[in-house]
Amino acid sequence: MIVSPEPLLRVHGLNAGFDAVPVLFGIDLEVGPAELIAVVGANGAGKSTLLGVLSGLVRATSGTVTLGGEDMTNARPEALVRRGIAHVPQGRRLFGTMSVEKNLLLGAYLRRDREVGDDMAQVLDHFPALKDKLSRDAGTLSGGEQQMVAIGRGLMARPKLLMVDELSLGLAPKVVDELIDVMREINREGTALLLVEQDVLIALDVANRAYVLENGRVVLSGLAAEVRDDPGVRRAYLGL
C-alpha cells in the first residue's frame, strides 16, 4: 500500500454510531499527504457516519483518529477544522438566503491570517462560474453552482484534507466531470482528498486508493484500479 510512514490521517479500530445503534465496526483507514482516496459502498454502509466522526459531528465509541501523529479522537469540530480537516456535506447545506460570498467566507470563519482574500481569489480561479454571482443568494444558484460554493467554502478553511460527501448527487454528467477536474487540480496543489461517492465508477477513476465499506466494515481496500477490477465490486456496486 502506498502510504507514507506518517500519514496525514490515521483511523484505527474505529467504532461509532448513533445512540445505541452501532454503525461503524473496527474501521482502519489512512490518508497520506496529497493522496486522493475514495470511500465507496451501498447506502447505509456507514460512509457519511465515517465523515461525521472525522469532522467531530459523531462520537467514536472506541478506536482512534490521529492527525499528523496527534490523537484527535472525539475532538470538537472547530479543533478539527483548525487542524486542517474540512467537510463538504452531502446535499451542500449552504445558507440559501445568504450571498455566495458570505457562504464562502464562512469557511474561513476560524482563520485570523491575512491570506483569506488570496484563498478567495484561488477558489474563484477554480470556479470561474461563481465570479459574477458573489452577491447572489446561494439558494438561487443551480445545483452544480451550489456544489461549487460548498466545495469552495471547504477550501476557504485552507484544509490539509478536504472530505467531499456525494460530489455527483443530482448533478448533470458534464458538471460532474468538470467538478472532478477541479478535484484533481486541488489535489495536485497539495490538498489530500477523501471522496465519498455513490457513482463508484467516477470515484475509482479519479482516486489513488479506495476503501469499500459494507455494513460498517472495510471489506476491501487497495489501489483504485485493483478495487475497480475486483469481481465482487463489479457485481455489487457497478452492476456489471
Partner 1 sequence: MSVATAAAQLELRGVTKRFGGVAAVDGVSLAVGKGEIVGIIGPNGAGKTTLLNCISGVFRPDAGDIRWEGTSIAGMQPYRVARLGIGRTFQIVRPFGSMTVRENAAIGALFGSNEARKGPREAFAIADEVLELVGLKAKAAHPVAALTIPDRKRLEVARAVATRPHLLLLDEVMAGLNNVEIDEALEMVRAVHATGVTVLLIEHVMRVIVGVCDRAIVLESGQVLAEGEPEVVLRDERVIQAYLGERYAKRLRASGAEDRTN
Binding site for partner 1 (CB under 8 A): 40, 42-44, 90, 141-145, 166, 169-178, 198-201, 236-240
* Cβ-contact 101, 132 below 8 angstroms: no
In angstroms, what is the minimal distance from the CB of 210 to partner 1?
Answer: 14
Judged by CB, which is closer to partner 1: 124, or 175?
A: 175
In angstroms, what is the minimal distance from the CB of 95 to partner 1?
Answer: 17
SS (H, E, C) 155-193: HCCCCCEEEEECCCCCCCHHHHHHHHHHHHHHHHCCCEE
In angstroms, what is the minimal distance from the CB of 14 to partner 1?
Answer: 21
In angstroms, what is the minimal distance from the CB of 90 to partner 1?
Answer: 8
Beta bridge partners of 213: 41, 218
In angstroms, what is the minimal distance from the CB of 45 to partner 1?
Answer: 10
Judged by CB, which is closer to partner 1: 5, or 231?
A: 231
Judged by CB, which is closer to partner 1: 88, or 200?
A: 200
State the burial class of residue 62 (Cβ atoms within 10 Å of its Cβ: 0-12, 13-18, 19+).
exposed
Rounded Cα gap, residues 208 and 130, in angstroms? 29
Judged by CB, which is closer to partner 1: 124, or 212?
A: 212
The C-alpha angle with vertex 51 and arms to 47 and 54, in degrees rounded to 5, equals 140
Main-chain phi, psi angles of 229, to 5 degrees = -90, -5
The one-letter amino acid code at 116 reads V
Judged by CB, which is closer to partner 1: 70, or 132?
A: 132
